[in-house]
Amino acid sequence: MIPFLEFLTNVRVCLADGAMGTELLRRGYPQEVPLELANLTHPELVERIHRDYLSAGAKLLETNTFGANTIKLAASGYERQVAEIIRAGVNIARKVGREQAYVLGSIGPLGKPVGDGFGVRDEEARESYRIQLETFLECGVDALLLETMPSIREVELALEVLSTLSANVPYIVQFSFLPDGSTPYGEGLNRVVEFLKDIDACAVGINCGSGPRDAVRIISYFAEHLPGPFSVQPNAGYPQVVQGRLFYGASPEYFASFARDFVTLGVKILGGCCGTTPAHIEALAKAVHEKGAEPTIEVFELQEEPGEETALPPSTLAEKLGNQFVVTVEITPPKGIDLERVKEGVNFLKQAGVDAVNISDSPMARVRISPIALAHLLKEELGMESIVHFTCRDRNFISLQSELLGAAALGIQNILALTGDPPSIGDHPFARPVFDVNSEGLVQILSKLNSGVDFAGNPLGRATSFTIGVALNPGAADLDREIERLRRKIEYGAHFILTQPIYDVQDLERFLERFAGPLPPILGGILPLRSFRHAEFLHNEVPGITIPEQFRKRMAEAQNPKEEGIAIACEVIARIQKMVAGIYLMPPFEKYDMAVEIIGRLPKECRRG
């Protein structure tokens, strides 16, 4: 066979195969096992599917390696077998193709958002792609196919790795688009097209995400802005769940009815994705050679981007930070919807002069009322500003941004970016965590929203005005790592810092000595001790908290432990007051009277009025 690039240059239209994953499942492959493992456990089934596509007219066979990467296969324990799975997949496809079809090495997305601070760090992504690409090059595939790509960043990293390995292998890049013209991670069609202008792919295009009708509309935009050639592999319509499986209802005849539209738009590689079968490819093969009237193509029109508006004004807390000594108090959101007790406590704190309350986000992974809803009610009914603790545990990449935009619309502006406790330690241990991003990634998302765009760069119309807080443990066992993470958070846009409870002032002093460079305002964490047992529990069982022996001894010998705990807290505040911009009180067991007592004893320099 002639080289793939020469073939692609000279051919009018080339048929690729259809779906492998849904076809494996349709033919009885177990649903709970990685589809790519079939190369090792069911090679005869994979081979039969390839042969059926070849018989249907396909000249391009994709290897059954879409999810064969270390990130995806780690979930099922097969990450060490990536190279073995890829080699087997290439061998099966090559055995079938021989001198009749070209073999494309299929590379799918990593399955999690990519970027430092997100589900997959850049270096992890590079290493995963390196293993894949080295194996494909070693096996000698005719071309590489980066398909169903959800973000520009993933393609950038894959091509970056490829450039270090080989400049000769042809590659095709296909993004996945939803019907509205955005990728699954929210990147707009225009941004993707601009990116594709600058890469050296032998073909670019789309697959998955939508059916043939919307694929025609989206590829029409490609044709308007790119020279081609294009590659298109739509789904067989939109899926529905039937008996626990996705079912795609578009018939081969309907699917093939769009063939001439694609060819007219400059599509040279035409195949199918999810739900398509050999029958769909056979129908395409007939349709591309049929003659008929020129098709009428519905052109994709981008939605008009919202105009820029003035950003929201900063929060009251933002105006106070660094200008006066700030006092915040943590409150525990209730498990149910009865908020009267919480309101009474917050009103009590407000009368004592508290600047803001901290509302935790289902702490210890235990179900509590939404901190955003509670913060909104406290602002509307009591005029109390809140710092909402916002975790990455329960929300995927899209939900994180949606909820933050909702918070901004409700007037919630102060966010403490946290990774969150795993569900396994909470009252719903069977719940599945998300963790698409960690706290570093969340700071990046918040900063993007503050600049008037979502994380994918799509304009919002009006920028948010979040005051972004981050956590710090000055007594961390690995202080260098803690400092490194804090530096990144500050670089990403953090505005203030809340510390873990401070008992040993030397921890804070040591941190300040080690941290070179400017710091945003720090609110020192103060958790007053309630009893000797409380002190022992915190010291022995709570990670990140160390209570000096002298304080534990005082609590053991105290006639009035509660009063002693308040006295210790006041001593710590007196010693750190010149090192911090305020305090973050965490009264134990919702004992807000302890917080009010401490506020009443603050040094003169920390009081107002």
Residue ranges for the known binding site are: 208, 273-274
Q: How far is CA 353 from each of CA 322, 395, 609, rounded to the nearest angstrom?
A: 17, 34, 10
- Torsion sign, CA atoms 75, 76, 77, 83: negative
Backbone angles phi, psi at 188, to 5 degrees: -75, 155
The one-character DSSP state at 468 is: E
Residue type present at position 210:
S
SS (H, E, C) 366-382: CCCCCHHHHHHHHHHHH
- Pick from 100, 270, 94, 73: which is nearest to 172 by CA? 270
Provide the b/e sequence for 349-377 (b: ≥16 CB within 10 Å): bbebebbbbbbbbbbebeebbebbbbbbb
Residues 6+ apart with CB under 8 A from 516: none
Distance CA 152, CA 175 (A): 9
Could you count the other beta carbons within 10 Å of the beta carbon of residue 44?
A: 8
Provide the b/e sequence for 208-238 (b: ≥16 CB within 10 Å): bbbbbbbbbbbbbbbbeebeebbbbbbbbbe
DSSP assignment string, 69-131: SHHHHGGGT-GGGHHHHHHHHHHHHHHHHTTT-EEEEEE---SS-BSTTBSB-HHHHHHHHHH
Beta bridge partners of 102: 60
Output the six-digit token pair for 79. 């990450």
Find out whether 565 and 555 touch, Cβ atoms under 8 Å.
yes
Find out whether 170 and 202 touch, Cβ atoms under 8 Å.
yes
CA atoms lying within 13 Å on the CB side of residue 543: 5
Output the six-digit token pair for 325. 């000594």
Backbone angles phi, psi at 198, to 5 degrees: -105, 5
Distance CA 454, CA 456 (A): 5
Which residues participate in the annotated binding site for Zn(2+)? 208, 273-274
Angle at 337 between CA 335 and CA 341, to 5 degrees: 80
Backbone angles phi, psi at 388, to 5 degrees: -85, 120
Distance CA 343, CA 339 (A): 6
- Pick from 511, 509, 505: which is nearest to 482 by CA? 511
Distance, first Cα to last Cα, the chain: 87
Element (H, E) at 207: strand 203-207
